[in-house]
Structures are given as structure tokens and as C-alpha cells.
Amino acid sequence: MDIKSEIINEYLTQGGGFRKLAEKYGISRTTICKWVMIHQGIHNLPLTEKQQKHSVYSMSNKRKKLNTEEQQSTEAMQQKITALEKQLEWEKLRTEALNTMIDIAEKDLNISIRKKPGAQQ
């Protein structure tokens, strides 16, 4: 049995960690991890409890991070929408005030200030 198979079998049967095996055999932890994952994929073996715990933990952390980022993005968008709605309301009031001023000026001064539709310049 070669060292690669021995390491893979030891990991799968005894459940030791990649770091312990790396220290014991003097091979990098990532190399051992790749060997085990390839072996499991080729032989269609299920993940060990340790692997399942690690993969579920990392996936849930990524989801939490994404949810936090999405939440911050949503809050920023809501703030922008609120600011734009206030600006729109202000512009509506301004337009109404200007129209009222023009109406009063036309009535008091008896002159037409607004441009007539279809009039030539």
C-alpha cells in the first residue's frame, strides 16, 4: 500500500484531522485534503461527519455574510428612496407656489405671463 492510500484510509477510518496527518507524514495539509476529496469523489463515498460540519458551517457563514450585505444594500436603497421622495414633495410644493404667484401676478397686473399654447416666438 502506498503512502497516499495509507493516509486516505487513515483519515477515513480513524477520523483524524488533516493537520495531524500532515504533521505525522510530512505532507501538506491541502494535499491530503485534495487526495481525500478526490478519493471520495471517485468512489462515490459520503462526506465524513467532520467534513459535513465544516462545509455546513462555512456555507451558513457565507449566507449570513451575504444576508448582511444584502440588508445593508437594502437599507441604503430605502434611505435613498426616502430622500428622493422628500425631494419630489419639495419640488411639488415649489411648483405649486410658483404657479400661485403667477396666477396672482396675472390677476393683479392684468397681464398674461404664461406662454400661450401654440404661440410663436
Give per-residue pLDDT as tens, 32-56: 888 888 888 777 777 776 666 666 4
Structural domain boundaries enclosing 12? 1-46
What's the confidence (pLDDT) of residue 34?
85
Tally of CB atoms within 10 A around 32: 22
In-domain check, residue 79? no
**The total number of structural domains that make up the chain:** 1
pLDDT of 12 higher than 70: yes
What's the confidence (pLDDT) of residue 21?
86
The secondary structure of 17-61 as a DSSP string is: -HHHHHHHHT--HHHHHHHHHHHHHHTTPPPPHHHHHHHHHHHHH
In-domain check, residue 28? yes
Give per-residue pLDDT as tens, 67-95: 787 888 888 899 999 999 999 999 999 99
In-domain check, residue 60? no
In-domain check, residue 2? yes
Average pLDDT, the chain: 81
